[in-house]
Structure 1
Amino acid sequence: MIKFFTFTLICSSGIEAYTFHCLTGCRCDTNEEIIHCDDHVLRKTVPLPPHGTHLRGFTVLSMTNNNIDELPDEQLLLAKFPDLKAVDVEDNKNFDCDTLKLFTKLNVLSDCGKKNGKKDDDRVHVHGQNSKNEEPKHRGRNEWKVIKNY
């Protein structure tokens, strides 16, 4: 019996968060619960899991500094990423801000509504509304909690 508990303790202590390559050119971080698909200026579409599959356990899809002009349908995003709470499309110069009004469940961070492209006027699209966001400019390890719980 003691051997069983020792084995269980050893196995459970070895389980940690990790980062792995997922989708096309993206990294999935299980600790931060973020899918990072950033800095691909040639990327024009949001990568999705293959037909019939989904990625669970990720609350943020970070698509910053790409060439995305619009997001896939909100229902499709939620079907492919069931735990998704927020999508970041900042620094996508051709992003169509008019498409944000179609999002009623997901929080979308974008450059839409920023005055003269200034980064100090961060706005987040929250369930069909634009609102001032007090979060830091550079989102790091724990800073996404503001958006995930918004």
Structure 2
Amino acid sequence: MRKMNPFLSLFLASCLFFISHSQTTSNTSFEHHCLPDQSHTLLQLRQEFVQKRLHSDDWYDYYDLNDYYNGSYPKMKSWKADSDCCSWDGVTCDPENGHVVGLNLTNSWLNGRLNSNSTLFSLRHLHKLNLALNNFSSSTIPSQFGHLFAW
């Protein structure tokens, strides 16, 4: 049986080291956290709505646990100023730059009006938005929605 050339062994070990090191650094170098202005905007958006269930009678308390497991819970309630908004429920960020690109606030117990001056329209990089199954008090759809996804 032939022995492996020591230079070839050293070369292969070096290649493996550089390949594994470059993959590790490339993954972490593009990891961005939520930008401060994006976090501030989302926290302002949270203040625009009351978060309560549409039915708050005691009779319905039996269904609370079932609602939670079916995705009905106040997602914005967990949003805290001292944490990265990219990890908040319903928030999706661009991993390359930290901009908020998606909001999924489906069935989040939001109650209130969608106003044309909502801070929602300050999220200029938003590509996906889902506000279904909330109570916006018969709000008319603000014309700003037409500009929200325009590039």
TM-score, L = length of structure 1:
0.33
Please tell me whether Structure 1 or Structure 2 has the larger radius of gyration of its CA atoms. 2
Write 1 or 2 for the structure with the bigger share of strand. Answer: 1
Write 1 or 2 for the structure with the bigger share of helix. Answer: 2
